[in-house]
């Protein structure tokens, strides 16, 4: 069954530094992958999604992710971190179950940005 | 267009009581999913409704139930509350749910505290 694993529950970077959040997927079929962001006491907001149209996906707020089938990875990156990027980030995959689809989330990575 | 609306935002209940949470999806969306988010278990799928029918269910006890109305609004109910039910409950709506790359839009959640 499809699943995702996020490596590192906490990541800390300096403002202006590269952000790299890791996500590996497990899927026996071509996956549909998503990155969501959650700010404190808020719901989840979609950053970007991979739907097989292109391996490099650009999202909102300067984030992008690259799908690498050989590494079963879909890591999220941003060239220069901003203080406002501090949040929790979730990688998710669509799982086909019972005839329909549902989102399965990773455990999340909390990103801290230091001045 | 208005986003996903969840009410109430915060709730405090006593063990043994029951609670009903409400979710109004984005206009035109017929699929509503519910998730429980806790620090220990992360984001866990509760169930999904589509056109008033439950078509996907997670691994939660029967105390957790839901329903969807003809206008796509959904409610979830938790009976005989336990301390462990304290969590952020998130609702997500999507346009169809049968397409694997369908984006889910999340509400801000209802923070339930059981004392």
Of B84, B51, B89, B56, nearest to B70 by C-alpha is B51
pLDDT tops 90 at residue B64: yes
Residues A76, A65 contacting (CB under 8 angstroms): yes
Q: What is B33-90 written as a DSSP string?
A: EEEEEETTTEEEEEEEEETTEEEEE-S--TTEEEEE-TTS-EEEEE-S--GGG-EEEE
Q: Identify all chain A residues contacting B111, using CB atoms and an 8 Å cutoff.
A: 41
Q: Which regions of chain A are under pLDDT 50? A: none
Tell me the mean pLDDT in the region B92-105. Answer: 73
Tell me the mean pLDDT in the region B91-106. Answer: 76
**Could you check whether the bond before residue B8 is cis, i.e. omega within 30 degrees of 0?**
yes
What is the separation of C-alpha B92 from the centre of its chain, rounded to a whole number of angstroms? 7
**A102 vs B56, B103, B107: nearest CB:** B56
**A49 touches B: beta carbon within 8 Å:** yes
Q: In what order do the strands lie in the sheet with A19-26?
A: A3-7, A19-26, A73-78, A64-68, A56-58
CB pair distance less than 8 Å for B108 and A43: yes
Q: Distance between CA B91 and CA A47 in Å, rounded?
A: 18
**A43 vs B97, B98, B106: nearest CB:** B106
Phi and psi at residue B26, in whole multiples of 5°?
A: -65, 140
pLDDT tops 60 at residue B97: no
Number of other CB atoms surrounding residue B103 within 10 Å: 15
> B75 or A32: which carries more pLDDT confidence?
B75
Tell me the mean pLDDT in the region B48-69. Answer: 93
CB pair distance less than 8 Å for A46 and B55: no
**Band of residue B49 on the pLDDT scale cut at 50, 70, 90:** very high
According to DSSP, the β-strands at A109-114 and A10-14 are parallel
At residue B67, the pLDDT reads 97
**A102 touches B: beta carbon within 8 Å:** yes
CB pair distance less than 8 Å for B107 and A41: no
**Band of residue B1 on the pLDDT scale cut at 50, 70, 90:** low
CB-based burial, A42-72: b 16+ in 10 Å, e otherwise: bbbbbbbbbbeeeeebebeeebbbebeeeee
Residues B31, B52 contacting (CB under 8 angstroms): no
Number of other CB atoms surrounding residue A85 within 10 Å: 20
CB pair distance less than 8 Å for B92 and A103: yes
> Residue B43: CB partners within 8 Å, gap ≥ 6?
A90, A105, A108, B35, B36, B37, B90
Residues A17, A114 contacting (CB under 8 angstroms): no
Q: Identify all chain A residues contacting B34, using CB atoms and an 8 Å cutoff.
A: none
């Amino acid at each position: 069954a499809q699943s995702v694993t996020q490596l590192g529950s906490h990541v800390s970077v300096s403002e202006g530094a590269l952000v790299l959040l890791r996500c590996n997927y497990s899927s026996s079929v071509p996956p549909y992958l998503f990155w969501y962001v959650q700010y404190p006491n808020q719901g989840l907001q979609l950053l970007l999604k991979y739907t097989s149209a292109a391996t490099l996906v650009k999202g909102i707020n300067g984030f992008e992710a690259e799908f690498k089938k050989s590494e079963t990875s879909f890591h999220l990156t941003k060239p220069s971190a901003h203080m406002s990027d501090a949040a929790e980030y979730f990688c998710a995959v669509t799982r086909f179950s019972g005839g329909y689809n549902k989102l399965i989330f990773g455990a999340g990575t909390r990103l801290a940005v230091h001045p | 267009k208005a986003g996903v609306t969840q009410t109430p935002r915060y709730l405090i209940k006593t063990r043994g009581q029951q609670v009903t949470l409400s979710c109004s999806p984005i206009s035109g969306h017929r699929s509503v999913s519910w998730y429980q988010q806790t620090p220990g278990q992360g984001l866990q799928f509760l169930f999904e409704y589509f056109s008033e029918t439950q078509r996907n269910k997670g691994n939660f006890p029967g105390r957790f139930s839901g329903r969807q109305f003809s206008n796509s609004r959904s409610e979830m109910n938790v009976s005989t509350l336990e301390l462990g039910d304290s969590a952020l409950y998130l609702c997500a709506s999507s346009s169809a749910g049968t397409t694997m790359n369908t984006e889910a839009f999340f509400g801000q959640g209802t923070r339930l505290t059981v004392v």
